[in-house]
């Protein structure tokens, strides 16, 4: 029975991987299954499959998928068949996702001029309604995104909710103008007089399942029930919440209503008597922003500003489980799938998270890592350790073989950490932080060395050691580059002049004679490391922010990668272009590196991995012979999580959707991933992954882009 249960959870958690390629059962799913599970212990073979040192989760996670949004997620909904997820964002667009794979089905639907506050599928799933801060309701074809009607100028103020009736013929909307309105879903015409009676914003409006009534929840702390045919109030207002009612919904029988409030409670009401059926449901530590009910009416889910989602039993009013510590900030919206097996939650942290609703357990296994997203990761020079810097203001050091912390998280910064690096000998670590300081740590003892380096007037975005390990260069949002003596913490040498824009990347040349800096304005500057004098005028080869820079091993060439997808190669002595700007990426170039002989460059972006001939400036269709001897690792990760072997032009694994990859680094045949939830995930690949054709998932495209 344990095996059957494990197999079901395995299939449910990694379904999207299996659709991508059958071999991902072994190469992408098994490594991330709980090491204590029957399925892992039966099938995982460390000689054949990638291994997560120390194991990934120790128990099954109910978090099935994370959908990355371009902005804060304000509203979510399932289609009636459960196959699609709808989300609305503060980017003003409506997004439609495949509920199984997590892939966006169509380009975002645009048109609203402001934040999307609410979205709804029609019961048949063929139409989408959205309400926004631009005071309009828009109706679209769910497949094409084409607007079915002109925008409905629905209210005199921001729209806070929209919902279809169960038959799909009507739409109810509510607004900051203190009213709710009911519209014909075909003509867009208002069918009833204003639902007027609340004394403040109306945050929520929803139909009963039989379409006979509408419930509204308001900032005036009350709920009101309206006759959906006449627009008259059907019952007395429901009073009891001590603060604003942010969300309300009918139970399937139409006789009971559930509400969530800024007073941190969920309440269940009898509509006719106006009384609460239980004591307030308490457990949330902040405002309850959204409530939803399972189709069978047995469970309630609530999302809160305390970043959690909770599940409640309707019959008893007791809490079943809490899905904790997954979203990084307030949860704004929740919804149940029609079959009751999944929960979705949307948050200001720009994610939609898909949860298993069946297990009934808090699905947060204990994972190694930080409490918040990992912004920067780096391997030690010998590849045996990894350093991580997190938004939780800590630095971590991890053993690559065991996956364990080498010592407790290093604390001292007062702001999130953006950049970390080992010294060339691996004995020291440097970190740059939002607290405007740089800190140096003893990498062998796990202690701070001296006081913080102070001098920047803005957040420190990038740090790097000199080749001898005696100096550190730092770049900041204050637009300056500074050089520090590692021992004294004092700025050494003359000040380096300001960029016109904030600094994105800094580094030393391998011979230590030059410093390079790249800015968010697209300029690359090269400085003499001794005098601080600029070697030549700023280099401009692209119009996008500089995301990556690197010197060739002999210090004679310089490469930069930019946000507009351009790779530029310069003569590091004269500043002259080695080749015209190289354009082979559609998205920003996050990483560039020279081969040790300087003849080739590997560049990676969110869409492609390219290998360039530096003399000719063209992309190669296959890796040149012997390249493996000239790069620290053949492993890269692309935009959708594929792990790519650039030497053999093939995909060898994929990061599961439950992991949000915020940063990564590779050394040899090991990979470290810094997660959006603070996880630090080490992944070691056995020799068989490279030597056996049976592990090949996909080859490169013929144009040389992987």
Choose from 46-60, 89-103, 364-378 the range with maximum mean pLDDT. Answer: 89-103
Instruction: Report the SS3 class of residue 109.
Output: strand
Q: Which residues contact 389 (CB under 8 A, 6 or more apart)?
A: 374, 375, 376, 377, 395, 396, 417, 418, 419, 420, 431
Residue with more model confidence, 123 or 359: 123
- In angstroms, the CA 607 to CA 662 distance is 15
CA 96, 98, 104, 105 torsion-angle sign: negative
Q: How many Cβ atoms from other residues are within 10 Å of residue 491's Cβ?
A: 17
CA 268, 270, 274, 276 torsion-angle sign: negative
Cβ proximity of 217 and 241 under 8 Å:
no
- In angstroms, the CA 644 to CA 650 distance is 6
pLDDT at position 624, please?
60
Q: How much is the average pLDDT of 134-153? A: 93
Q: How do residues 481-537 score in pLDDT, each as one tens digit? A: 999 999 999 988 666 667 889 999 999 999 999 999 999 988 999 999 888 889 999
CA 254 to chain centre: 38
Residue with more model confidence, 249 or 700: 249
Work out the percent of the chain whose per-residue pLDDT is above 70.
92
How far does the chain reach from its first CA to its final CA, in angstroms? 42
Q: How much is the average pLDDT of 184-191? A: 94
- In angstroms, the CA 54 to CA 42 distance is 17
Q: How do residues 532-544 score in pLDDT, each as one tens digit? A: 889 999 999 888 8
Range of lowest pLDDT (13-17, 28-32, 422-426) = 13-17
Total residue length of the chain: 706
CA 446, 452, 453, 456 torsion-angle sign: positive
- In angstroms, the CA 383 to CA 395 distance is 18
- In angstroms, the CA 528 to CA 115 distance is 48
Range of lowest pLDDT (6-10, 127-131, 407-411, 700-704) = 700-704
Banded pLDDT at 338 (limits 50, 70, 90)? very high
User: Does residue 690 register a pLDDT over 80?
Assistant: no
Cβ proximity of 383 and 684 under 8 Å:
no
Q: Convert 268-286 to b/e letters by CB count within 10 Å (16 or more is b).
A: bbebeeeebeeebbebbee
Task: Of 530, 524, 576, give the one whose Cα is nearest residue 547.
Answer: 524
Banded pLDDT at 617 (limits 50, 70, 90)? low
Cβ proximity of 440 and 428 under 8 Å:
yes
∠ CA(369), CA(373), CA(378), 5° rounding?
70
User: Does residue 629 register a pLDDT over 70?
Assistant: no
Banded pLDDT at 366 (limits 50, 70, 90)? very low
Banded pLDDT at 325 (limits 50, 70, 90)? low
Q: How many Cβ atoms from other residues are within 10 Å of residue 375's Cβ?
A: 21
pLDDT at position 640, please?
77
CATH number of 126-335: 2.130.10.10
Structure tokens at 240: 């009891």
Task: Show the beta-strand stretches assigned E in 380-513.
Answer: 385-390, 394-399, 410-411, 417-422, 428-433, 438-442, 447-448, 460-465, 471-476, 481-485, 503-508
Three-state secondary structure along 60-91?
CCCEEEEEECCCCEEEEEECCCCCEEEEEECC
**H helix runs in 334-442, sequence order:** none
What phi-psi label fits residue 377: left (phi over 0), alpha (psi between -120 and 50 degrees) or beta? beta
Structural domain spans, the chain: 126-335
Cβ proximity of 693 and 397 under 8 Å:
no
- In angstroms, the CA 676 to CA 673 distance is 10
- DSSP strand pairing (650-654 vs 582-583): unpaired
DSSP 493-531: SSPPPPPSS-EEEEEE-TTSSEEEEEETTS-EEEEETTT
- In angstroms, the CA 169 to CA 86 distance is 20
Range of lowest pLDDT (23-27, 607-611, 674-678) = 607-611
- Any bridge partners for residue 122, and if so which? none
Question: Diameter of the chain by CA atoms?
Answer: 84
- DSSP strand pairing (481-485 vs 471-476): antiparallel
Q: How many Cβ atoms from other residues are within 10 Å of residue 575's Cβ?
A: 17
Q: Residue holding tokens 């073989």?
A: 401
Task: Of 473, 540, 455, 461, give the one whose Cα is nearest residue 509.
Answer: 473
Structure tokens at 399: 């053993």
In degrees rounded to 5, what are phi and psi of residue 503?
-85, 135
- Any bridge partners for residue 245, and if so which? 261
Q: How much is the average pLDDT of 599-614? A: 79
- Any bridge partners for residue 472, and if so which? 465, 484
- In angstroms, the CA 504 to CA 435 distance is 16
Task: Of 463, 429, 458, 459, give the one whose Cα is nearest residue 444.
Answer: 429
Residue with more model confidence, 386 or 363: 386
Cβ proximity of 441 and 450 under 8 Å:
no
Averaged pLDDT score across all residues of the chain: 89
């Amino acid at each position: 029975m344990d095996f059957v249960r494990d197999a079901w959870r395995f299939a449910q958690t990694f379904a999207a991987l299996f659709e991508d390629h059958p071999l991902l059962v072994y190469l992408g799913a098994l490594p991330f299954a709980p090491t204590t599970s029957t399925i892992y212990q039966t099938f995982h073979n460390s000689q054949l499959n990638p291994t997560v040192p120390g194991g990934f989760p120790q128990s099954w996670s109910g978090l099935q998928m994370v959908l990355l949004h371009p902005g804060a997620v304000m509203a979510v909904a399932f289609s009636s068949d459960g196959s699609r997820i709808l989300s609305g964002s503060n980017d003003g667009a409506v997004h439609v996702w495949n509920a199984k794979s997590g892939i966006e089905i169509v380009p975002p639907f645009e048109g609203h001029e402001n934040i999307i506050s609410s979205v709804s599928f029609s019961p048949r799933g063929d139409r989408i309604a959205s309400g926004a801060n631009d005071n309009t309701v828009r109706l679209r074809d769910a497949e094409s995104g084409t607007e079915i009607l002109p925008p409905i100028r629905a209210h005199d103020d921001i729209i806070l909710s929209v919902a279809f009736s169960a038959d799909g013929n009507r739409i109810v909307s509510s607004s900051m103008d203190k009213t709710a309105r009911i519209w014909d879903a075909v003509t867009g015409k208002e069918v009833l007089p204003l639902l007027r009676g609340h004394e403040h914003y109306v945050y929520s409006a929803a139909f009963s399942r039989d379409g006979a009534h509408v419930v509204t929840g308001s900032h005036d702390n009350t709920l009101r029930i309206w006759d959906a045919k006449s627009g008259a109030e059907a019952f007395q207002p429901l009073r009891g919440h001590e603060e604003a009612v942010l969300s309300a919904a009918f139970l399937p029988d139409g006789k009971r209503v559930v509400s969530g409030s800024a007073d941190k409670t969920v309440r269940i009401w009898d509509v006719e008597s106006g009384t609460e059926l239980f004591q307030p449901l308490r457990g949330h530590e902040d405002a309850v922003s959204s409530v939803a009910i399972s189709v069978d009416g047995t469970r309630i889910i609530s999302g809160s500003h305390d970043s959690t989602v909770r599940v409640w039993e309707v019959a008893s009013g007791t809490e079943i489980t809490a899905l904790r510590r997954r979203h990084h900030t307030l949860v704004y919206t929740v919804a149940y799938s029609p079959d009751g097996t999944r929960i979705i939650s949307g948050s200001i942290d720009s994610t939609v998270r898909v949860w298993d609703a069946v297990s009934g357990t808090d699905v947060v296994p204990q994972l190694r890592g930080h409490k918040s997203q990992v912004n920067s990761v780096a391997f030690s020079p010998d590849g045996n350790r990894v350093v991580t810097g997190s938004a939780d203001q800590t630095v971590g050091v991890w053993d690559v073989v065991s996956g364990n912390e080498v010592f407790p998280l290093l604390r001292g910064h007062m702001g999130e950490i953006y950049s970390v690096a080992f010294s060339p000998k691996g004995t020291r670590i440097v970190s740059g932080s939002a607290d405007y300081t740089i800190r140096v740590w003893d990498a062998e003892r796990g202690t701070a060395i001296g006081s913080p380096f102070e001098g920047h007037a803005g957040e420190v975005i990038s740090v790097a050691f000199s080749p001898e390990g005696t100096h550190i260069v730092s770049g900041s949002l204050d637009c300056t580059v500074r050089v520090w003596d590692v021992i004294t913490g004092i700025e050494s040498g003359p000040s380096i002049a300001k960029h016109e824009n904030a600094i994105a990347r800094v580094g030393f040349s391998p011979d230590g004679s030059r410093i390079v800096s790249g800015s968010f304005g697209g300029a690359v500057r090269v400085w003499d490391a001794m005098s601080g004098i600029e070697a030549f005028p700023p280099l401009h080869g692209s119009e996008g922010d500089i995301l990556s820079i690197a010197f060739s091993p002999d210090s004679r060439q310089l490469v930069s990668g930019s946000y507009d997808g351009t790779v530029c190669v310069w003569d590091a002595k004269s500043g002259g272009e080695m080749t015209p700007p190289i354009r082979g990426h559609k998205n920003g170039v996050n990483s560039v590196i020279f081969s040790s002989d300087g003849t080739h460059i590997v560049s990676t972006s969110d869409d492609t991995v390219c290998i360039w001939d530096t003399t000719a400036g063209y992309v190669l269709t296959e890796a040149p012979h012997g390249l493996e001897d000239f790069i620290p690792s053949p492993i890269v990760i692309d935009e959708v999580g594929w792990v790519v072997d650039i030497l053999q032009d093939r995909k060898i694994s994929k990061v599961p959707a439950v992991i949000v990859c915020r940063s990564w680094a590779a050394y040899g045949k090991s990979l470290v991933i810094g997660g959006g939830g603070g996880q630090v995930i080490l992944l070691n690949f056995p020799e068989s992954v490279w030597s056996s054709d049976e592990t090949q998932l996909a080859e490169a495209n013929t144009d040389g882009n992987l």
